[in-house]
Amino acid sequence: QVHLVQSGAEVKKPGASVKISCKSSGYSFTSYYMHWVRQAPGQGLEWMGIINPSGGSKSYARKFQGRVTMTRDTSTSTVYMELSSLTSEDTAVYFCARDGGNIEARPRDYFDYWGQGTLVTVSS
Amino acid sequence: DIQMTQSPSSVSASVGERVTITCRASQDISSWLAWYQQNPGKAPQLLIFAASSLQSGVPSRFSGSGSGTDFTLTISSLQPEDSATYYCQQTNSFPLTFGGGTKVEIK
């Protein structure tokens, strides 16, 4: 059974950074791309980027370029998302979400399993 | 970036009624579209991918159609557990983008 378990809620001050983890189980970690999606309170969904857990390559949404870093640790089947220079507009629930296609092919770019979400609150 | 526009923003219907949600892309995305259901405080759940393919485990009352720029999600017979917010998402190109959501309520 596929599970994506994320780290707990964070409270950060403006200008700080946050690093969220997403631990995978129940499938071959290196066989599926992983995405990050966020959702501000009462708002819609926003895609942040994708990482290849096998080779480590990534692609970020232009909006977050220069502020986001996605990494992975194959020894623990965990992906990480770090967001820097936080402002109040970064207050959101952050989700990791597994790509719907096997890594042998191009990413399907839809999300078949999601983490439970991590609330990041940015406040002075 | 491809803009995704959903309508209506909310709909209220009775149990057993047919509900249709539309999603329009700002450019041709072929059949590269997915639909999700999200309950309050929960992660979204995949319903449909490739515009019309039903994700495993999703009830058959959910269906998707369309191609190009216009798509629909249909719930053929609304059930109480279908009360949720629904999002479309284009999978054609980066950045991946979502519609603004449609809240479905039970009368």
- Tell me: the pLDDT tens digits for B10-35? 999 999 999 999 999 999 999 999 99
For chain A, the residues whose C-beta falls within 8 A of a C-beta of chain B are: 35, 44-47, 59, 61-63, 95, 97, 100, 108-112, 114-117
Model confidence at B91, in pLDDT bands (50, 70, 90)?
very high
User: Residue A101 and residue A52: Cα distance in Å, rounded?
Assistant: 12
Taking one residue from A and the other from B, the number of pairs with CB-CB distance under 8 angstroms is 49
Task: Calculate mean pLDDT across residues A10-36.
Answer: 97
Nearest-neighbour CA in chain B from A76: distance (Å): 23
Element (H, E) at B47: strand B45-49
Nearest-neighbour CA in chain B from A113: distance (Å): 7
With contacts defined as CB-CB under 8 Å, which chain B residues touch A59? 94
User: Residue B17 and residue B22: Cα distance in Å, rounded?
Assistant: 16
Q: With 90 as the cut, is the pLDDT of residue A105 above it?
A: no
Q: With 90 as the cut, is the pLDDT of residue A104 above it?
A: no
User: Residue B52 and residue B62: Cα distance in Å, rounded?
Assistant: 10
Least CB-CB distance to A111: which of B46, B95, B97? B46
**Chain A CB within 8 Å of residue B34 CB:** yes
> What is the model's pLDDT at position A106?
79
B73 contacts B88 by C-beta, under 8 angstroms: yes
Q: Which of B91, B92, B102 to mutate to test the interface with A (most CBs of A within 10 A)?
A: B91
Contact A116 B101 (CB under 8 A): no
- Tell me: the pLDDT tens digits for A25-76? 999 999 999 999 999 999 999 999 999 999 999 999 999 999 999 999 999 9
